[in-house]
Structure 1
């Protein structure tokens, strides 16, 4: 242990016999406390001092420090400061780290701690335990560091004032309010007939308020309210935006309803197991989406398809009730198990498909594997049942893949398989890939369909400017590849290309221009199939708070 950090404090006090320790026994070189202080000023100033004396539990014996040995040059002085005056504390890992550099402010904080302890002894009638030489040296040090001590007291007073103001004005003692606002301008173009009649530039927005409540620090009650008038963009399902949300009272209406978008409670059962229950839950709340760079609708992908896998992370309408278990075995393996029901709130016995177990459901199992830190893998199996016509692929695939089981009037079941991969080549470059496959069967009859979807993307972080992000994605939205479905059309074989660049203007404001292109969309028309490409240009402005 060298003379830096609090070793300076020990040596400064020891060499002037504050604790009755001689200079010869405490320090390896001669010099007064003032000289050592001058050495400290010259050699041990650091740019961002960290004051540690009052941040950890007080030790009662120098032997509690694992890195302090009896042979250390300041051992005796440190022992006296710890065991006689009790004004030295170390790190939480039971180390003292005496070789760390010390600033004048840290020295002053340590000195102030010793002054407070001695004042306690005197006020407790134990003044006889404090020698006159101790007091004289402390007075000398107090004069030497009067400016730093005054600054520390000023900082504490200011901090107490700010804390009192925050406590008086805070939203809640248990709830943190966050939110976001999106303004978006978008326009579709191209020669495909799906764009015809929908070529106007649109300007719309979405607002979300999130209430994050914790009662114990590790649990979370999450409530989200939202309203928006961003429509499903022209060009059909293949060109949907990542943030389209329309809560208008009527089509094209200016009056928006505020809707409850999320309501769930997550809490730890053990250090490795978390449980989640809720009445308004989406499947991405209970399964991990291994696509961190594109997931956020505020700052990630501009398309609904690229945000998340539509065959796996697909809802059965609003208001899914859910129960889930999330298990983290270690840093490499995790397991998520979830059950969602979309008619759990309906008690009707007249309807055959209602209640927690009688209506539509999704049962999911996800295995998470991180073989080494830059690589994250995910394997998902889902069993879904839809008693009534439902969109099979989150409204992002071809008309055939989106029409329930090929028949608009019946529901059915599906087995879904998904694989996700995320690899960080460096802090600024990442790759994401995914593939999913679903086999479906109609409730009545023997109609079957096999649906496939895949996507790859690459993201450049801090490109040109710190905080900015550029991403390019290429893949295929859900399309039918097999089964005996009568409407099978091999020409519905679309390709999705997306590129965007996010300008991070500040911590809370970003602007993202981007372009979505769909090749070979297979638009069904009266005259056949139109495979001319479709395009959507997007300008998204996001504000978060």
Structure 2
């Protein structure tokens, strides 16, 4: 369910509600054995979103986003984006259930017709939701800045550079039940060897062959993958061909 409402020519409000298991009205079991597949429209996994977009000029825009959600199992983020600690804070509850409050801000500034800057920042708090009172929580961050170069080389081309941090946890508590398996640790992040902030650096160039075909080669460089300097850097080459009809 969604709503998009124009408060004024410069301000837009968007609301949304998503229930992945809306067609399964079975009640959630106390032991979470069906915690990812039941609950129906309002008593299972869901995400409720509110976003306020403000565009004071045609060259400047920014948005504020809030998401309240409930989930069970993994991953937290779509398509498992981010580190394991961000996507799988299963130790903050003894049944993997958790509530989520996420806050985001994003902005775009078109400095010149052929140069723009955009960026975003996200903070997510995940709170364990087991039946007991020993729940813990996790804090997850993600942020980036991107430079865009429209019509680079010729009309229709696009160059881009992105430097950012994928979702990663700075703190992820451990319920007492699991602490003996981690040497008594109360924060799973403290157990990551040689831990570091993961960094994502990307460059791409979209080349428009004609009105219907474009090719976009690119390269991605991942530093401290999965939040540890013990993991070697990863370099990925990409190429995408787009057909427009």
TM tier, smaller: 0.7 to 0.9
Question: 1:403 and 2:61 equivalent?
Answer: no
CA distance in 2, matches of 1:384, 1:390: 14
CA distance in 2, matches of 1:510, 1:372: 30
Question: 1:358 and 2:59 equivalent?
Answer: no
User: Secondary structure in 2 aligned to 1:329?
Assistant: strand
Deviations along 1:88-126, one digit per CA (max 9) or x if unpaired, are xxxxxxxxxxxxxxxxxxxxxxxxxxxxxxxxxxxxxxx
Question: 1:536 and 2:236 equivalent?
Answer: yes
2:106/2:119 contact within 8 Å kept: yes
Question: 1:381 and 2:66 equivalent?
Answer: yes
Give the one of 149, 152, 167 matched to 1:463: 152
Question: 1:478 and 2:162 equivalent?
Answer: no
CA distance in 1, matches of 2:139, 2:45: 20
Question: 1:335 and 2:13 equivalent?
Answer: yes
Give the one of 23, 27, 50 matched to 1:345: 23
Match of 1:435? 121
Q: Which has the higher helix share?
A: 1
Match of 1:291? none
User: Secondary structure in 2 aligned to 1:328?
Assistant: strand
User: Secondary structure in 2 aligned to 1:355?
Assistant: coil
Number of corresponding residues: 218
Q: CA deviation at 1:520?
A: 1.4
CA distance in 1, matches of 2:75, 2:11: 32
Compare relative contact order (CA 8 Å, sep 6+) and give the higher one, 1 or 2: 2
User: Secondary structure in 2 aligned to 1:356?
Assistant: coil
Match of 1:513? 217
Q: CA deviation at 1:409?
A: 5.2
Cα pair distance change 1:482/1:331, threshold 3 Å: same
CA distance in 2, matches of 1:442, 1:327: 34
Unaligned runs of 5+ in 1: 1-322
TM-score by length of 2: 0.82
Provide the alpha-carbon RMSD of the alignment.
Answer: 2.0
Q: CA deviation at 1:404?
A: 3.7
TM-score by length of 1: 0.38
User: Secondary structure in 1 aligned to 2:122?
Assistant: strand
Match of 1:491? 195
CA distance in 2, matches of 1:523, 1:369: 34
Q: CA deviation at 1:536?
A: 0.5
Match of 1:188? none
User: Secondary structure in 2 aligned to 1:401?
Assistant: helix
Unaligned runs of 5+ in 2: 30-34, 175-186
Max radius of gyration: which structure?
1
